[in-house]
Structures are given as structure tokens and as C-alpha cells.
Amino acid sequence: MTTGPGEEAARPRAFLDLHCHTAASFDSRSRPRDVVRAAFERGLTHLAITDHDRIEGALEAQALAPPGLVVLVGEEIRTREGDLIGLFLRAAVPPGLSAREAIAAVREQGGLVGIPHPFDRWRGSLGRRAWLRDLAPLVDWVEVHNARALFRANARAAAFAAEHGLPGVAVSDAHTLLEVGVASTVVDGDPSTPDGLRAALRTASLVTGRGSLVARLATPIAKGLNWWQGNRRRRPGRGGPEPTDDG
């Protein structure tokens, strides 16, 4: 059945940022209430909170989100091969699993999986290993524009997504309030559910802003303050802190 012009125009449009951090992450000081306010004020309709190896901040943000902003509960998962994004989670996926095990854990919850900053050599990125190609059939999207990625990392990610027929998204990877929504993805449809997001990503267009140098310089300060206050990266298999050099 074909869709008429009036029906096409009536389809809802959504504005997504699928990678954002709060103070629940070891490397951010942004309170969930402030993050959702910034997202709403900047016109986002959907915001994925993807703190490192935990979902407490996402659950708090979801409870505090104003009408008109849908918060997706997610996690940036540290696997043995590199980082993954899981969305639509009910429980945190522990760090230290293999990438395939982490993907299976997300799928068991009915969630979706994305590959963050795959070729950014300065972070825990999957693209630094040969196994990235083997994981391509198992994921739902690739970050082809990460506002914090350096050098040619985004161009390589876009080429990888195109080669494997995967949807590409633009994300802020915000660790500060200044960055929330600076890069985003615009889709048709309602991406509030796993099936809805998977379908909507086929219509994606990208807003490719960049995070400021000031915002990036705030990250090591946030790490130091959080470390001093006991908010440290979780150690695989133990739930405790793990030293790290990436955000």
C-alpha cells in the first residue's frame, strides 16, 4: 500500500541523541536533572543516557524527564574487545564480558546494540581490533559522527557502516551540559521502543556538531573529582573501581 502526500507529512519526526553521560559516570559531573533540562531546551525528543557500566543515572533521568522528552535507559558497556552501547535496558550489563556475551545480555532484555566511536584510537573502541567486522551483523547502528571523536575516526566509521549496510547515527557523547544535543539524529516515526527505533533509523539524517575544547578539558577534572569522591570505574566481575584512561 502506498502512502499519500498528506499521510507522509503527518508522520512524526523525532530528534535523538543516543549517547550521553551523567554524573553516574566516572568521568562526568552533569546531574541527571540538568541533563534532561538541557536536552528538552535544545529541542531533543529522545535522549539515551548511556553511563559507563551502570544505569542508575539513566533511571533517575527517566523519572525526571519533562513531558515531550523520552529518556531511553542505556549503558556504555566496557567489553574485553572494546565499548558497546546497549539501549532499552532494565538491568546493567556488567563490564568485562566478551563483546558477543554483552550483545547477548542486551538482547535478553529486548534491547538494541550500537557501536560507539569505533575508530577513535584514544578510547576503548572496537575498531582497534580485527573482530569488529565479525560483530557487524549483530548490531543495530554505528556512530558515524561522534562529536568527541578525533582526526579521521568519524570518516572511517561512516565507511564501515556503509560497507556493512548499518544505519549511521550522530551523537554528542556529552560528558558536560554544554555538549548535550550538539550532535544528533533526526528520524521519522516513533523511536520510543526497540522496534520503533530500529525502523526509524532507516530514515536517519544527521546533525553533525562538535563538542568544544572547553567541554573536553572538563573531563579530566570530572574524573579527578569523582575519583576523590569514590565514583570510579567499575572493575569487571567485582563492581568495584577500575583505573582507566578513556571517557
Residue of higher predicted confidence among 214 and 162: 162
Cell (9 digits) for 62: 527517566
In a domain, 103, yes or no: yes
In a domain, 53, yes or no: yes
Q: Would you say residue 150 has pLDDT above 60?
A: yes
Backbone angles phi, psi at 48, to 5 degrees: -95, 120
Helix axes of 56-64 and 32-41: crossing angle, nearest 10 degrees: 50
Q: Would you say residue 240 has pLDDT above 60?
A: no
In a domain, 26, yes or no: yes
- The pLDDT confidence band at residue 237, using thresholds 50, 70 and 90, is low
Q: Would you say residue 86 has pLDDT above 50?
A: yes
- Give mean pLDDT, residues 143-160: 93
For residues 87 and 143, give the distance between their C-alpha atoms in angstroms, rounded to a whole number.
14
Per the CB < 8 A criterion, the answer to whether 220 and 26 are in contact is no
Map grid coordinates 551540559 to a residue.
177
Per the CB < 8 A criterion, the answer to whether 57 and 49 are in contact is yes
pLDDT at 1 (0 to 100): 40
Q: Would you say residue 241 has pLDDT above 60?
A: no
Geometric angle at alpha carbon 198, from 192 and 203, rounded to 5° = 100
Number of domains in the chain: 1
Domain carrying residue 135? 14-228
For residues 244 and 217, give the distance between their C-alpha atoms in angstroms, rounded to a whole number.
17
Per the CB < 8 A criterion, the answer to whether 12 and 189 are in contact is yes
In a domain, 235, yes or no: no
In a domain, 8, yes or no: no
Percent of the chain with pLDDT over 70: 81
pLDDT at 211 (0 to 100): 77
For residues 36 and 45, give the distance between their C-alpha atoms in angstroms, rounded to a whole number.
10
Amino acid at 32: P
Q: Tens digit of pLDDT for each residue in 153-207?
A: 999 999 999 999 999 999 999 999 999 999 999 999 999 999 999 999 999 999 9
- The pLDDT confidence band at residue 131, using thresholds 50, 70 and 90, is confident
Read off the CATH number of the domain in which 186 is found.
3.20.20.140
In a domain, 238, yes or no: no
Residue of higher predicted confidence among 170 and 132: 170
In a domain, 7, yes or no: no
Alpha-carbon distances of 109 from 86, 89, 194, 195, 206, rounded to whole Å: 10, 6, 11, 13, 28
Q: Would you say residue 21 has pLDDT above 90?
A: yes
pLDDT at 236 (0 to 100): 78
Looking at 71-75, 84-88, 136-140, 236-240, which range is the least confident one?
Answer: 236-240
pLDDT at 111 (0 to 100): 98
DSSP assignment of 65-102 equals: PPTT-EEEEEEEEE-SS-EEEEES-SSPPPTTS-HHHH
DSSP H or E segment with residue 142: strand 141-146
pLDDT at 231 (0 to 100): 64
Residue of higher predicted confidence among 181 and 226: 181
In a domain, 62, yes or no: yes
pLDDT at 245 (0 to 100): 39
* pTM as predicted: 0.86
